Amino acid sequence: MMIAKQTQPEPKNLISSEKMESFIKRIDFKKGEGLVPVITQDTRTKDVLMLAYANEEALRLSFSTGVAHYWSRSRRALWKKGETSGHVQNIRLIDTDCDSDALLYLVDQIGVACHRGTWSCFDSVSEEHERAKP
């Protein structure tokens, strides 16, 4: 079934298992009781799309599937961004900061990032995005 394969591509590892494990080991999940904040930025526009949280499983799934996963604090559940809306975020790079207590997901945003239907969860970013449209 070629079509199925095309619409649901095989999971792709962004980096090798060894590099992923070494990266995950560095992250300070303790400070935030198992969670670290994640800044999500669109690769093309460099717009900041949202701030969310990841636990270790969400980070691992983001690496291993290549699409952004988070931990929803309100639903207290693992959250594959865009699972119902289709507005997934294809990950290009995952980075951490100097204290290893925050993450940066660089993504190709499909559709829009915010559940309100706006490009970004930050209004000023969405407004700028609208103004920049040709």
Nearest distance from C-beta of residue 96 to its own copies, angstroms = 7
Q: 67 or 112, CB closer to its own copies? A: 112
Least gap, CB of 33 to its own copies (angstroms):
11
User: How far are the Cα atoms of 6, 51, 89 from residue 70, in angstroms, in the given order?
Assistant: 25, 10, 11
Q: Restricting to residues 51-90, which ones interact with its own copies according to CB under 8 A?
A: 51, 73
Measured in residues, the chain has a length of: 134
Using CB under 8 A as the criterion, which residues of the chain lie in contact with its own copies when the complex forms?
31, 37, 39, 41, 45-48, 50-51, 73, 93, 95-99, 102, 104, 106, 114-116, 118, 121-125
